[in-house]
A = this chain, B = another copy of it.
Amino acid sequence: MRATVLESPGQIVLHDVPDPRIELPTDAVVRVVASCICGSDLWGYRGIAQDRGPSRTGHEFVGVIEEIGADVRTVKVGDFVIAPFCISDGTCENCRNGVHTSCLHGGYWGSTDLPAATADAAQGEAVRVPLADGTLVGLPEQPGAEQVPGLLTLSDVMGTGHHAALAAGVTRGSTVVVVGDGAVGLCGVIAALRLGAEQVVAMSRHASRQALAREFGATAVVAERGDEGVARVKELFGGIGPDAVMECVGTKESMQQALDSVRPGGTVGFVGLPYGAELPIRQMFSENKGVRGGVASVRGYIDELLPDVLSGAIDPGRVFDVTLPLADVAEGYRAMDRREAIKVLLRP
Contacts and interface: CB of A to CB of B under 8 A. Distances in A.
A235 to B, nearest CB: 13
Nearest to A277: B281
Given A285-B273, A285-B274, A240 B93 contact: yes
A290 B291 contact: yes
A26 B168 CA distance: 37
A263 to B, nearest CB: 7
A208 interface: no
25 contacts: A93-B240, A93-B263, A94-B240, A94-B265, A97-B240, A99-B263, A99-B288, A101-B264, A104-B240, A255-B281, A267-B292, A273-B285, A274-B281, A274-B282, A285-B294, A287-B294, A288-B293, A288-B295, A288-B297, A289-B294, A290-B291, A290-B292, A290-B293, A291-B291, A292-B292
Interface residues of A, number: 38
Contacts of A284: 279, 291, 294
Chain copies in the assembled complex: 2
Given A101-B288, A265-B99, A291-B291, A239 B93 contact: yes
A99 to B, nearest CB: 4
Nearest to A163: B288
Interface in A88-102: 93-94, 97-99, 101-102
Contact of A94 (B167, B255, B263, B273): B263
A102 B273 contact: no
B285 A270 contact: yes
A278 interface: yes
A99 B287 CA distance: 9
Contact of A238 (B93, B99, B278): B93
A311 interface: no
Contacts of A98: 265
A290 B290 CA distance: 8
A255 B295 CA distance: 21
Contacts of A289: 294
Contacts of A74: none
A286 interface: yes
A141 B93 CA distance: 51
A238 B102 CA distance: 14
Interface string A254-267: 01000000011101
A123 B92 CA distance: 53
Contacts of A285: 270, 273-274, 293-295
B291 A292 contact: yes
Interface in A195-247: 238-240
A288 B93 contact: no
A286 B271 CA distance: 10
Contacts of A294: 284-289
Nearest to A285: B294
A93 B81 CA distance: 48
Most buried by B among A99, A240, A281, A289: A281
A167 B273 contact: no
B264 A102 contact: yes
